[in-house]
Amino acid sequence: MEFKTPGRCKRWDEFNARWKAIAPELASDEVLYGADGALGKPYTLKNKLIGNRWAIHPMEGWDGTGDGLPSEDTLRRWQRFGLSGAKLIWGGEAVAVMAEGRANPHQLYVNPSVDTRAGLAQLREALIDSHESTGAATDDIYIGLQLTHSGRFCRPTGDGPAPRIAYRHPVLDARAGVQSDDAILSDMELEGITERYVQAATHAQAAGFEFVDVKCCHGYLLHELLGAKTRPGPYGGSFENRTRFFRETVAAIRSACPGLDIGVRVSIGDLHPFSPGEDRRGEPTGWNDSLPYTYGFGVDEQDPRRVDLTESFLLLELLRGMGISLVNLTLGSPYYNPHLQRPAAYPPSDGYQPPEDPLHQVAEHLRITRQCKSAYPDLALVGTGYSYLQEWLPNVAQHELAQGHVDFVGLGRMVLSYPELPLHVLRGQPLERKKICRTFSDCTTGPRNGLRSGCYPLDAHYKVRPDYTILKEIKERMN
């Protein structure tokens, strides 16, 4: 690694100088104000008071039962989300609306043969109980469930990929095992999938969730549909057609589940797929072989090495018009440009070495979120990509909130290793350095190799498992 990770900056001024060297408009706060500062300020969303500005991003564990219900590990993860003190729980994790839509055989899913509602309720209650055990109030926590269909990245059984796509892609087809147009979902099949979203939302509401996230990110089906420029028919081509499935699905959920709020997690910007180049660093190999690049959403057609927010803003406009004000902004995909989606010092086993200092990608998340917030100040925006900031995460988070650049700071990987970080910051306690996520990517490498996800290096629950030995062997073979 030629870059210095944030954790190696021992003093705030050292970090702040490095941060500003990435881009002069970046800044962080030297002094943290705990619950009295921007992170502790409540937010009123419609009529609901959300107690602070920490959000927990959805984090799957590849650890559901074969029937699609939570296991002990799943429950433990949700309990730890509750311990965090964060008041906005975004989805818990991606739950597939049907068996065929799972991204792995251990994903939670809506299985008509079991009591899905009870399984979901168990997760939500475990989270609330652990939240309460910290002495926190529970009437100001806002909990949603993320609903998904994995589309191109379906892998519902141990037999390998079973992709269902919106359109043929010049690079991703080969990677996802797409061999013919048979993988393309027909318009009628899409209409059937809307019904499954409605069923899933009905279960979520019955289980007590206050909102569902109709997930549009990370290369999964609804994200791919947003970029289905080459697809003929009612679900492709124009922006109106590409958002039709989303609009119809939201309308169907609203009609079946009055009172249930809708949120959207969206990859608001994207890039051409990356692969390892010279020195195993990631590069957008072949980006100029298929120009204009009409195969994505929020990516520049003439130069797909760049994000283009023109349609992203149209989407935010559309959401506002639909009365959806809770939006979680993310970028890219863990499958084809993980350095952007989850900036890390160390790549996952199916990834590549960082093309540049990962702080650039953290900055890209923040820059794009700032642009969206400035254009749509009335939306409640959740920011992503903070875990790589390590020790300095709270200083950047407080700054972005205090300056009105974002409404909630979402945490992903950091919560796997150090769930209490938000609580400690709110209480003005020093951080426990041993628990800080160092972005080793084992939480991604594990599942890519058929193991459960979790923080193997730092969480004792995973460290003692035989899986960790297997994981280490896999990583040694990679080097």
Per CB under 6 A, residues contacting ligand FMN are 57-60, 93-94, 146, 217-218, 265, 330, 342, 384-388, 411-414, 443-444, 453
Q: What is the DSSP secondary structure assignment for residue 101, as one 8-state letter?
A: G
The residue whose Cβ lies closest to ligand FMN is 412
Query: Minimum distance between the CB of residue 224 and ligand FMN, rounded to whole angstroms?
Result: 14
Nearer to ligand FMN, 229 or 261 (CB): 261
Q: Which helix (H) or strand (E) holds 396?
A: helix 393-402
Nearer to ligand FMN, 38 or 89 (CB): 89
Q: Which of 331, 328, 198 is nearest to 263 (CA)?
A: 328
Query: Minimum distance between the CB of residue 339 and ligand FMN, rounded to whole angstroms?
Result: 11
**Token match 């797909």: residue?**
304
Nearer to ligand FMN, 109 or 388 (CB): 388
- For residue 436, count other CB atoms closer than 10 A to its CB: 20
Nearer to ligand FMN, 384 or 398 (CB): 384
Query: Minimum distance between the CB of residue 89 and ligand FMN, rounded to whole angstroms?
Result: 12
Nearer to ligand FMN, 371 or 444 (CB): 444
Rounded CA gap, 325 and 258, in Å?
Answer: 17
Query: Minimum distance between the CB of residue 113 and ligand FMN, rounded to whole angstroms?
Result: 23
Q: Which of 155, 456, 459 is nearest to 470 (CA)?
A: 456
Q: Residue 468 is encoded by which pair of tokens?
A: 């960790």
Nearer to ligand FMN, 146 or 369 (CB): 146
C-alpha count within 13 angstroms, C-beta hemisphere, residue 380:
23
Query: Minimum distance between the CB of residue 240 and ligand FMN, rounded to whole angstroms?
Result: 25
Say which residues have a Cβ less than 8 Å from residue 387's Cβ, sequence separation at least 6: 342, 343, 393, 411, 412, 413, 414, 437, 439
Is the CB of residue 339 less than 8 Å from the CB of residue 358?
yes
Rounded CA gap, 403 and 235, in Å?
Answer: 39
Query: Minimum distance between the CB of residue 379 and ligand FMN, rounded to whole angstroms?
Result: 18
Rounded CA gap, 246 and 3, in Å?
Answer: 41
Query: Minimum distance between the CB of residue 192 and ligand FMN, rounded to whole angstroms?
Result: 23
Nearer to ligand FMN, 93 or 270 (CB): 93
Q: Which of 108, 205, 204 is nearest to 150 (CA)?
A: 108
